[in-house]
Structure 1
Amino acid sequence: MKNFEHRRDRFELFAGFDNPRINLGMALTLPDFRPFCKARQLPPFHFFLYCLLDSVQSIDNFLYRVHDGEVIKIEQFYGSYTVLNQDNNLNYARFVRSPDLAEFVERSVAAGRVAQASRALINTGADLSPREMRDNVYNTCLPWLDLTAIEHPLYRHHEADIPLIAWGRFSAPAGATLTLPFSIQAHHGFVDGYHVHRLTERLAARIAELIG
């Protein structure tokens, strides 16, 4: 929390807004990890999710939350993402993350299968305490679209402290890099455009580290 104290005045400013969210969309250029995944039989979506959440974990600003009126810093958060179930309706996958890539992918794939198979809406957080609900980063992928903008539904704008990350369709194979549309919504009391920039840099670096 030491780092947060350097921006508490920014938080207090934006916490007074009816809608304190910052919402940025961009086209990301990243190392093309698909050949790496194909050679190792790793699903590219789950590999990307692993790198993304690992990168989020490395930047304090994305880990600040508000609980009982106080700013806290979470230590861990769930792996989660949206899926379509058998009726082509939205559902939520949730799992305990692992720092090990293979184990993360195994858990992520299994959670997705459970969500896809359920006609009922699951993993909404109804089973979690208010404090446990803070241990989240919300993720969604729209692989059919060259996404240009997104506005997520929020229960209460004023209390929305959990980052929401979305991305669209990967570009066609074209060489050493791929591009994808990418969006982040976060509480402006915690996150500025610079921190989004840091996250995208860290994401590219993490992918590069893993694919060598």
Structure 2
Amino acid sequence: MIEINIDNWERKAQYNFFKDFDDPFMGTTSNIECSQMYMKAKESNESFFIHYMHKALQVINEIPEFRLRILGEKVVQYPIINGTTTVFKHDKTFNFCYFKYIKNFNDFYIQTTNAIELAQKNELLVSKPMQDLIHVSVIPWRSFTSIKHPRIFKDSDSIPKLVFGKVFKTEEKYFMPVSVDAHHALMDGYHVSEFFNKFEVLLSEKQY
């Protein structure tokens, strides 16, 4: 990782303004068209979640602001951001699942499938204090228009949080609600919109 020189940083004014807010996170929800990828995953009987999670991590790693974290008085940028998600268990509780971002989709699919299965079998709620990742939750039972996260207010809480909801159909197209919560000292609505736009393009590519 590299340390950002805050004094010479183009976001110095915005960073100093928002960094000491009691709740510096901003939240945005958008319905993302996912028709091509959703139908492809269903036809191939593969996990739609793993398909779109791979693309979400691809976009996150392409946008530098999503790789920024606040560590104490420093701002650092990680070279690669990996994933963690909540995994629903058979007893209707959940566990945390950790997986690495791998550019090759087939390799990503295999390792993420194995990670999910391991998390489902683990009786302990395993939480790892890492910063080079993105926090992800999935609510496949309902679509939503907004969401609020529980949060421990401390300096190290600067990890963006994503939530994916239930796919719904409108006028022969499939959409999925996606929520992004991000630390406003590190990024703005422009960067969150950039994520949504790039993510939607990848989910709609004709290769799917």
TM-score in same-fold range (> 0.5): yes
Computed over aligned residues only, the root mean square deviation of the Cα atoms, in angstroms, reads 2.2
Amino acid at match of 2:180: I
Shift of residue 33 of structure 1? Answer: 1.0
Q: Is the 8 A contact 1:79 1:108 kept in 2?
A: no
Q: Name the residue aligned to 1:200.
A: 196
What displacement does 1:146 show?
A: 1.2
Higher strand share: 2
How does the TM-score come out when normalised to structure 2?
0.89
SS for the counterpart of 1:211 is coil
Conserved? CA contact 1:25–1:184, under 8 Å: yes
Describe the SS at the equivalent of 1:148: coil
Give the equivalent residue in structure 1 for 2:30: 26
Distance 1:53 1:28, change over 3 A: same
**Structure with the higher fraction of residues in helix conformation:** 1
1:183 and 1:31 map into 2 onto residues whose CA distance is 18
1:103-154 deviations in Å (ceiling 9; x for gaps): 11111111111111112112x01xx5xxxx1111001110001122211111
After superposition, residues 140-179 of structure 1 pair within 5 angstroms as 140-156=137-153, 159-172=156-169, 175=172, 177-179=173-175
Counterparts of 1:189 and 1:52, CA distance in 2? 22
Measured at CA, do residues 158 and 149 of structure 1 come closer, stay the same or move farther in structure 2, by a change above 3 Å?
Answer: farther
Among residues 55, 59, 64, which one is paired with 1:55 in the alignment?
Answer: 59
CA–CA distance in 1 between the matches of 2:206 and 2:112?
18
SS in 1 for 2:23: coil
Any conservation in 2 of the 1:55–1:199 contact (CA below 8 Å)? yes
Q: How does 1:70-109 map to 2 (within 5 A)?
A: 70-109=74-113
Confirm whether residue 112 of structure 1 aligns to residue 112 of structure 2. no
SS in 1 for 2:70: strand
Aligned 8 A contact 1:85 1:119 in 2: no
Structure 2 portions without partners, runs of 5+: none
Q: TM-score of the superposition, structure 1-length normalised?
A: 0.87
Shift of 1:36: 2.2
1: CA distance, partners of 2:43 / 2:117: 23
SS of the residue corresponding to residue 53 of structure 2 reads helix
Query: Given that residues 33 and 203 in structure 2 are in contact (C-alpha distance below 8 angstroms), is that contact kept between their aligned partners in structure 1?
Result: no
Q: What is the DSSP-based 3-state SS (H/G/I as helix, E as strand, rest coil) of the residue aligned with 2:168?
A: coil
Whether the aligned pair in 1 keeps the contact of 2:71 and 2:156 (CA below 8 Å) is no
- Residues 33-71 of structure 1 show CA distances to partners (whole Å, capped at 9, x for unaligned) of 123224444311110110111111110111110123200
Distance in 2 of aligned mates of 1:84 and 1:38? 20
- Conserved in 1, the CA contact under 8 Å of 2:57 and 2:82? no
Supply the distance in 2 between the matched residues of 1:9 and 1:143 (Cα, whole angstroms).
Answer: 39
The alignment partner of 2:133 has SS state of: coil
Contact 2:71 2:155 in 1 (8 A): no
For the pair 1:180 / 2:184, whether they are aligned, the reply is no
